[in-house]
Amino acid sequence: MISGPVTSPPSSPSSRTHPRPGTPLRQFVLKVHGLCNLACDHCYVYELADQTWRDKPAFMAPGTVRHAAARIAEHAAEHSLGAVGIVLHGGEPLLMGAPRLRETLTVLDAAIAPVAWIDWRMQTNGILLTDEIGELLLEFGVKVGVSLDGDREANDRHRRYRHGGGSHPETLRGLALLRKPRFRELYAGLLCTIDVRNDPIAVYEALLAQEPPHVDLLLPHATWDEPPPYAQPGTTPYADWLLRVHDRWLADGRPVPIRSFDALHTIARGGRSETEAVGVDRGIVAVIETDGTWEQPDSMKVAFHGAAGTGRDVVTTSADELLDLPAMRHRQSGLAGLSATCRACPVVARCGGGLYAHRYRTGSGFDNPSVYCADLKGLITSMDSAPQPVGNGLPVLPDWVFDELASGGGGPLAIAYLTAAQESITRALLVAVAGHADETAARAWPLLADLDKQSPAAVRAVVTHPFVRTWAVQCLRDGHDTARLADVVAAVVIAAGTDAQVEVTPRNGQIHLPSIGTLTAPTPANVMITSRALTATGPLAAGTPAETLAGTSAQTPPGVAGVGGVVVGSGFAPVRTVEVDGRVLRLEDADPYRDCHEWPATGPLTDGDAEAWATSLTAAWRELSLDAPEQLAGLGELVTVVTPLVAAADGTLRSATSQQAFGALGIAATDDPAALAVMLVHEFQHAKLGAVLDLYDLVDPDSADPVTVGWRPDARPAELALQGTYAHLAVADIWRRRALRSAPGAAGYYTMYRDWTLHAADALRNGTALTERGRRFVDGIAATIARWPK
């Protein structure tokens, strides 16, 4: 236990002078109860090399909870984090009982909620879930993940009581409670530890029978000292097992998100893994033990006794100080912290060396590939050759993605599906443009196919830039500027960091490389571009300095380079970028195809303008963390570009999206963060719906059935009415949350937007314009409103 003051933990002098570590922590796992009602033989807390649990208190005392809460709040405030994840963990967290659980949630909420939105989670075996606990979890919005290894035989192979009996029936009873309509929203998903002796399809079917919103398939923890069970040299039993599930999952149309598969697909498309198991995302998780000591994630317990320990606790050590410990710095070092073997591996951007703990070997520590190396490589390369979930034919969304979007939401995975579909559309447009390309662009085009094989993430990073599509559409419409096709290829060359040469043609003295920047051409001659150098093909003007592109792609994973990562000599202006809540957004003030919105785009910004944008977007993100927390992660995934628009002379707020520019939001600058927050969410809705409309006819194109809506005096064509309804759904939700915290005037705005949305949804449903898909979409909107107060 911790003794000492239980209000704000004192910042030690060093914490004030301490340099800020690079990547803040985003998720805190609180070991609120150290014991368990089961004795699973694969448990990483009790059964592995680390036995430190024996010296710790059984549960987290109230004083320790208060210290932990204050440290988390301090970290969130220090880094302006819009949201933090709190995972109540154990042992078995529900052994603490309802009264202590309420006290713990109350203390954490009181300290952290004023600073950041809390993404509450609990990981449990589900046995002690009751209606009383469910009501309490509903009150705080705690989502529950349940550990289940498959059918009864598979689950009870490991998940047993001390007396040897299996836990499957009791866990299923807890899951039945979570599936009740009353508690369904609490159900986060299932966590299954793989045992290759279990039939993969039987496990998959047993998990899906529990109707989980999400599934996580975990490799059993192992190291080079303690290799995985049933793994023999030259075999890949875990890859084989996972691929059986993967193939069936694809054949079923991906009926549920499966974290490891989705993460690998998402990274391959340039997204984030959102898990430490694969990919090179930095470690953002820390554990607080029952005694208040900071620890690294539990998986480290497999390595050796005390491996997860840091020797620090929440009384004496802030989260920033924790991050500065060598062990934590190494965990956060991404690609640079991997072994030489991994850094040279062709699949490293996706594998990332696997889970940190799985690299351990006595003597060389963590400087090794994963003990699952062969399985990970086999899994990734086989997934590459499997049919892609969204191909070049007719892309479709899994039902759960469609329904999540219809409800007004859209988390990172749903957005990843939309992005993949948009990429397919843009690729098809590029193929069509190539058929009309001028001589220089036609010479560059075949290189793109080669780069697609060598550096697919770099191709995706450029092809999904919003203004590649706006240009391609315009080009196909009026034959305008086919030369930009070579600019697209050159941008990929730079993003990929290859030395391939592309010849590009300056227009009006400039070459704009989409997502990279603008080069003012030194001569009228064409220019050869590689990732490192420019060479004019004609005579250089006297005294013109040689330009040098110094790509950073050698140090960063493919697809990341090009986000402001290109440094050059005079004559090159990289795309402006701003960092908002840990994400890099492009501020597009130069791309010649950015002017695709209802209002004109501004000209080039000054450095002062860009700083003002960074400040106002950061402030708006902060507003969203309070007023639209569930939208933040998806918004951050979708929005890659902000295009500054010319402000209205009368000060009216302006924002816009274009269906041809997925990922870009057009906004006129404002210094009102609350208003900017509303505009961001409003346009996020339009962007999502535009992408859905690219895939489905939600409205009968032949329908002439106009719809009367509350926000306009004139009846609207059905598709425009649907767009407005969907946008106002999210705006109403913002005002609902503002009303809950008694913001002035919020209740009135909430009522107005809710009623507009409700009546427009009813009018659409009562009309004849919606297709069957459209009706399902609007039903989703109506179901969300039905959950709100009248």
Residue 747 corresponds to which tokens in the numbers above?
């209740």
**Taking contact as CB under 6 A, which single stretch among the options 290-298, 372-380, 420-428, 603-611 is the one that binds ligand SF4?**
372-380
With contacts defined by CB under 6 A, name the span among 246-254, 369-377, 422-430, 544-552 that binds ligand SF4: 369-377
Q: How far is the CB of 384 from ligand SF4 (least distance, A)?
A: 13
Which strand (E) or helix (H) includes residue 216? strand 215-218
Q: Rounded to whole angstroms, how far apart are CA atoms 123 and 496?
A: 40
Question: For residue 234, is the peptide bond before it cis, meaning its omega torsion is within 30 degrees of 0?
Answer: no
Nearer to ligand SF4, 370 or 658 (CB): 370
The CB-of-346 to ligand SF4 minimum distance in angstroms stands at 8
Residues whose CB falls within 8 Å of the CB of residue 550, separated by 6 or more in sequence, listed in order: 532, 566, 567, 568
To ligand SF4, the closest distance from the beta carbon of 378 in angstroms equals: 9
Residues 240-279 interacting with ligand SF4 (rule: CB under 6 A): none
Minimum distance of ligand SF4 from residue 531's CB (angstroms): 23
Kindly tell me which of 219 and 342 has the beta carbon lying closer to ligand SF4: 342
Please answer whether residues 710 and 751 qualify as being in contact, where contact means their C-beta atoms are separated by less than 8 angstroms.
no
Degrees, nearest 5: CA angle 402-403-409: 95
> Which regions of 521-640 does DSSP assign to beta strands (E)?
527-529, 534-536, 549-550, 567-568, 572-574, 576-580, 583-587
373 lies in the site for ligand SF4, by CB under 6 A: yes
State the minimum distance, in angstroms, from the CB of residue 270 to ligand SF4.
18
For residues 408 and 557, which CB has a smaller minimum distance to ligand SF4 in the complex? 557
List residues bridging with 511 in a β-sheet: 519
Nearer to ligand SF4, 323 or 348 (CB): 348
Long-range (24+ apart) CB contacts under 8 A made by 131-140 are: 131/177, 132/98, 133/94, 133/98, 133/101, 134/177, 134/178, 134/180, 134/182, 134/183, 134/186, 136/98, 136/101, 136/102, 136/105, 137/183, 137/186, 138/182, 138/183, 138/185, 138/186, 140/105, 140/109
Which residues, in sequence order, are bridge partners of residue 88? 30, 122
Binders of ligand SF4 among residues 275 to 334 (CB under 6 A) are none
C-beta of 354 vs 565, nearer to ligand SF4:
354
Enumerate residues 681-710 that contact ligand SF4 by CB under 6 A.
none
The DSSP bridge partners found for residue 513 are 517
Of the pair 373, 680, the CB lying nearest ligand SF4 is at 373
**Three-state DSSP class for 285?**
strand
Based on CB atoms, which residue is closest to ligand SF4, 234 or 651? 234
Report in angstroms how near the CB of residue 278 gets to ligand SF4 at its nearest: 8
* Binding map of ligand SF4 across residues 618-637, x = CB under 6 A, - = no contact: --------------------
Select the span of 194-202, 367-375, 486-494, 504-512 touching ligand SF4 (CB under 6 A): 367-375
State the nearest-atom distance from the C-beta of 350 to ligand SF4, in Å: 8
Q: Which of 91, 200, 292, 369 binds ligand SF4 (CB under 6 A)?
A: 369
Beta carbons of 83 and 37 less than 8 angstroms apart:
no
Helical pair 466-478 and 412-434, crossing angle rounded to 10 deg: 30
Between 118 and 345, whose beta carbon lies closer to ligand SF4?
345
179 to 208, contacts with ligand SF4 by CB under 6 A?
none
Draw the binding track, 329-358, toward ligand SF4 (x: CB under 6 A; -: no contact). ------------xx--x-xx--x-xx----
Minimum distance, C-beta of residue 337 to ligand SF4, in the bound complex (Å): 12
**Min. distance of Cβ 492 from ligand SF4 in angstroms?**
23
Q: For residues 129 and 373, which CB has a smaller minimum distance to ligand SF4 in the complex?
A: 373
C-alpha to C-alpha distances, 251 to 260, 384, 421, 424, nearest whole angstrom: 17, 15, 18, 20
Shortest Å distance, C-beta 361 to ligand SF4:
13
CB of 339 to ligand SF4, least distance (A): 7
Using the minimum distance from each CB to ligand SF4, give the nearer residue, 257 or 557: 557
Which listed residue (370, 518, 530, 616) binds ligand SF4 by CB under 6 A?
370
Distances (CA, A) of 760 to 275, 480, 709, 724: 40, 40, 5, 9
Select 219 or 590, whichever has its Cβ closest to ligand SF4: 219
Residue 341: CB minimum distance to ligand SF4, A: 5
How far apart CA 279 and CA 412 sit, in angstroms, is 16
- Token pair for residue 136? 């309490």
What residue ranges in 27-156 does DSSP mark as E strands? 27-31, 83-89, 117-124, 143-147
State both tokens at 722. Answer: 């649907």
Helices (H), 639-705: 673-695
- Which residue's structure tokens are 């075996």? 125
Q: What are phi and psi of 518, to 5 degrees?
A: -120, 130
Kindly state the smallest distance separating residue 300's Cβ from ligand SF4, in Å. Answer: 17
Q: How far is the CB of 271 from ligand SF4 (least distance, A)?
A: 18
The C-alpha atoms of residue 109 and residue 90 are separated, in whole angstroms, by 19
Closest to ligand SF4 by CB, 346 vs 600, is 346
Least separation, in Å, of the C-beta of 379 and ligand SF4? Answer: 9
Residue 370 C-beta: closest distance to ligand SF4, Å: 4
Beta bridge partners of 361: 365
Find out whether 38 and 92 touch, Cβ atoms under 8 Å: yes
By beta-carbon proximity to ligand SF4, the closer residue of 457 and 483 is: 457
Question: At its nearest, how many Å lie between ligand SF4 and the CB of residue 590?
Answer: 37
> Coil, strand or helix: which one is 592?
coil
Our CB check for ligand SF4 shows the closer of 377 and 484 to be 377
Whether residue 451 contacts residue 460, with contact meaning beta carbons closer than 8 Å, is answered with: no
Q: Toward ligand SF4, which CB reaches closer, 348 or 734? A: 348
Angle at 8 (CA atoms; ends 4, 11), nearest 5 degrees: 85
Of residues 370 and 440, the one with the C-beta less far from ligand SF4: 370
CA 726, CA 734: separation in Å to the nearest integer?
A: 13
CB of 691 to ligand SF4, least distance (A): 32
Q: Between residues 243 and 286, which has the closer beta carbon with respect to ligand SF4?
A: 243
DSSP 121-182: EEEE-STT--HHHHHHHHHHT-EEEEE--SSHHHHHTT-B-TTS-B-HHHHHHHHHHHHSTT
H-run or E-run covering 519: strand 517-520
Site residue total, ligand SF4 (CB under 6 A): 13
574 CA to centre of own chain? 25
Q: 334 vs 506, which CB is nearer to ligand SF4? A: 334
Stretch that binds ligand SF4, among 30-38, 365-373, 429-437, 444-452 (CB under 6 A): 365-373
Q: Among 678, 671, 785, which residue's Cα sits nearest to residue 731?
A: 678
CB 68 within 8 A of CB 11: no
Given the rule CB under 6 A, which residues bind ligand SF4? 341-342, 345, 347-348, 351, 353-354, 369-370, 373, 376-377
